[in-house]
Amino acid sequence: MSTLIVIVYPTEAKAEEVRQTLLGLQKEYVIKLGDAVIATKTEAGKVKLNQLMNTTATGAVSGSFWGLLIGILFLNPLIGVAVGTASGALGGALTDVGINDAFMKDLSASIVPGNAALFLLIQEMTEDKVLKQIQGFGGIVLKTSLDETKEQVLRDALKRHSAEAGSAPSA
């Protein structure tokens, strides 16, 4: 079962720094992420999602490959590539992998413009090692699917850093 954690940071740069730290931990097999998305809110109130994977581009590349292969079989590779790219891009745009985009936009509507919410879908993790690495960044837990005890441990570790730094982002 996957775990959802949403942490608010004062800037998009700080959220990106935490995401890169977690991606580094993933290479060390300390955590396995299903998705890691940064949501920001503009002064106009529009929510922007910074996702790791662009499904439209991935679909277009995959579609062009399969279109080329089918086009070669039917002796018209250019049409095969064009049709494959278009259908792959359409399929990729309609695919929602990981955390639901509508959910992220709805939840991010509550953050203060300029702040960033880091949405993490965690499949597996060594909790003590991950917490040790991210507690130095601070942040405020907005939502989790952790049990109450584990959620409180996370909140306390992040709060400790925020109190030391003297500034906590508004959620």
**How does pLDDT run across 150-165, given as a tens digit for each residue?**
888 888 888 776 566 5
- pLDDT band of 45, cuts 50, 70, 90: confident
Query: Where are the extended beta strands (E) located within the chain?
Result: 3-9, 31-41, 47-50, 116-125, 140-144
- 95-111 average pLDDT score: 78
Per DSSP, the three-state class of 96 is: coil
Burial status of residue 14 (CB atoms within 10 A of its CB: 0-12, 13-18, 19 or more): buried
Can you give the residue range of the structural domain that contains 72?
A: 2-118+141-165
In degrees, rounded to 5, the angle at the alpha carbon of residue 50 between the alpha carbons of residues 118 and 150 is 15
Asked if the structure places residue 74 within a domain, the reply is yes
Residue 93's pLDDT is 46
Residues 93-123: b if buried by 16+ CB within 10 A, e if exposed: eeeeebbeeeebeebbeebeeebbbbbbbbe
pLDDT digits (tens, 9 = 90+) for 111-146: 999 899 999 998 998 988 988 898 889 888 888 878
Asked if the structure places residue 47 within a domain, the reply is yes
Domain count, the chain: 1
CA distance 44 to 37: 21
Q: Which residues contact 97 (CB under 8 A, 6 or more apart)?
A: 35, 53, 55
- 44-60 average pLDDT score: 69
